[in-house]
Chain A
């Protein structure tokens, strides 16, 4: 078999025949460069599934060495080293915004909204170390995130205007070939991009692109525009991996109860003096 293969590919005519054969019998084995995703009943790329990143973007979008975290947690609270997900590794802060970012970084162990179990916003919800599920129907695509039970609907059929600024924003989607493109606007200025204090204003406009690259991976890109904070648009890119466990499931992480001591502990009744 092996020898036959080598012999056959040594002549161009046989190679062409082989290619034609492979194309018709087994498309997966062909040399097609662009992966063609499986389809939903309405013919759209099927993004349904439980997905999760495998990176350190939630600790710091940029390339970083390991560093200590909350002292009480020792090694368990430390920041793992990581390769950045920002194109060019540079986040183009305006000068005054760079100072704010540094201040956020210095106060990160208390000021990060994740600590308070606040809704994480977009794009951060995508790369937190928790799974999320895409539930795709023709008129709307729902993304349910495990962290804080955050959820958002991506409207595919009608783009009614956003009723008000919100934590998870207003998402309007469209298909660009096999890529789901989502415009996210109307977010408030309360969320951060990561635990390193990267932040934005309420002028944030995120354009997300979800592109199937294999049956079990998507490429996620998010372009960030926010003229109040950044001097130019910038972009992050990372793979999203399918959780392949047969019983993969987004479970409940209602984290409010884990943040209450921190938020309200000073208001607890002191034991009798």
Chain B
């Protein structure tokens, strides 16, 4: 706990220092990938220089809220009002566990208070109402029959957890992020989350490395056109290429799900990184997982240049939660057995 706490403090310090760059994201205009391409920084081999630390926090949700219907963009006034409401709705300190709120059912637990969060509080610069740009309704496409079965099981397990009775016969019942094997926002694909929304890119002519702060994942992407080994890995196998000034990374051979809850090992992921100006790296990903979703879908996440370093997030080393979840489940069973015995 202590170690995790320290690192989280680092994250919060970073958040404060980063208020200015986040504002810059808020001012970014609609992405035009050809803008001033000639003036952008380049590496000695002539490729766009994407190196540095990038911050992908935003309060814009992955999916367009249903109540927004066909509204794809906010006006400036609407965006300000929505940010205000959403920041309040997300504030864990304002949620009464008895009443519930967000994903927390009434009478459940709100396990992390606001101290732990380092999420974005601004909508993306385009003022789009979702990160998903395709399908045009901004929503994840309909599930396949198999995807539905998985989603229902996941929803049930999630409810039990929020009510304080997580299924925990063993660690294998717990999600990968609780085991520190994968971090949700670490990707692939990367999606803004609760904290550690930072990624560092390092380039050589032969490789690009994508180092995410969450669970210190260094994804090494060969750029030399070598074939896939076709072995399953948690982060999949990535291969990169340049399409004009856009870095394209193709990933497959996942061991299980990707960072997207419910996705399958057969996911084929395409990520595109384009530097649109000095302070913005446009990150776009397309998910094709025919086992889970009835069609591919695409999201766009603008990343803002950060002057801060990536901090070490020693998730597994500081993981007191997993042991406690298991111990708690065993204690519940013991109490249940004692109750039965006394009847």
Judge whether B323 and A149 touch: CB under 8 Å: no
At the interface, yes or no: B149 with Cβ under 8 Å from chain A? Answer: no
At the interface, yes or no: B94 with Cβ under 8 Å from chain A? Answer: no
* B293 CB, min distance to chain A CBs, angstroms: 25
Judge whether A249 and B310 touch: CB under 8 Å: no
Stretch at the interface among B5-13, B22-30, B56-64: B5-13
Judge whether A269 and B170 touch: CB under 8 Å: yes
CB-CB under 8 A for A142 and B181, given A150-B216, A269-B169, A269-B170: no
Q: Which residues of A contact B18 (CB under 8 A)?
A: none
At the interface, yes or no: A228 with Cβ under 8 Å from chain B? Answer: no
Judge whether B202 and A140 touch: CB under 8 Å: yes
Q: Which residue of A lies closest to B52 (CB)?
A: A139
Judge whether A264 and B204 touch: CB under 8 Å: no
Stretch at the interface among A55-63, A99-107, A130-138: A130-138
Contact residues of A between 213 and 271, Cβ < 8 Å to B: 247, 249-252, 254, 256-257, 260, 263-264, 267-269
Number of residues from A at the complex interface, CB < 8 A: 42
CB-CB under 8 A for A144 and B310, given A163-B10, A260-B179, A268-B170: no
Q: How many angstroms from the CA of A119 to the CA of B7 in the assembled complex?
A: 15
* A163 CB, min distance to chain B CBs, angstroms: 4
Contact residues of A between 138 and 175, Cβ < 8 Å to B: 139-140, 142, 144, 149-151, 153, 155, 160, 163-168
Q: Which residue of A lies closest to B337 (CB)?
A: A273
Q: What bracket does the count of chain B residues touching chain A fall in? A: 35 or more
Q: Which residue of B lies closest to A165 (CB)?
A: B6
CB-CB under 8 A for A135 and B314, given A150-B216, A164-B6: no
At the interface, yes or no: B294 with Cβ under 8 Å from chain A? Answer: no
At the interface, yes or no: A41 with Cβ under 8 Å from chain B? Answer: yes
Judge whether B326 and A118 touch: CB under 8 Å: no
- SS class, residues of chain A in contact with chain B: loop
Q: How many angstroms from the CA of A233 to the CA of B216 in the assembled complex?
A: 31
Q: Which residues of B contact A164 (CB under 8 A)?
A: 6-7, 9-10, 311
CB-CB under 8 A for A144 and B218, given A151-B211, A252-B235: yes
Q: How many angstroms from the CA of A214 to the CA of B222 in the assembled complex?
A: 24
Q: How many angstroms from the CA of A168 to the CA of B231 in the assembled complex?
A: 28
Judge whether A137 and B218 touch: CB under 8 Å: no
Q: Which residues of B contact A118 (CB under 8 A)?
A: 314, 316-317
* A41 CB, min distance to chain B CBs, angstroms: 3
Which of these, B45, B311, B330, contacts A267 with CB under 8 Å?
A: B330
Q: How many angstroms from the CA of A249 to the CA of B223 in the assembled complex?
A: 12
Judge whether A269 and B330 touch: CB under 8 Å: yes
Residues of B in contact with A (beta carbons under 8 Å apart): 3, 6-7, 9-10, 13, 43-45, 51, 168-171, 179-181, 200, 202-204, 206-207, 209, 211, 215-218, 220, 222, 226, 229, 231, 233-235, 309-312, 314, 316-317, 322-323, 326-327, 329-330, 333
Task: Please name 30 pairs of A and B residues whose Cβ atoms are closer than 8 Å in the assembled complex, sorted by A.
Answer: A41-B43, A42-B44, A117-B316, A118-B316, A118-B317, A119-B312, A119-B314, A133-B220, A136-B204, A137-B204, A140-B202, A144-B209, A144-B211, A149-B215, A149-B216, A151-B211, A151-B218, A153-B211, A155-B309, A160-B309, A163-B13, A168-B312, A190-B317, A247-B226, A251-B229, A252-B235, A256-B181, A260-B179, A264-B326, A268-B169
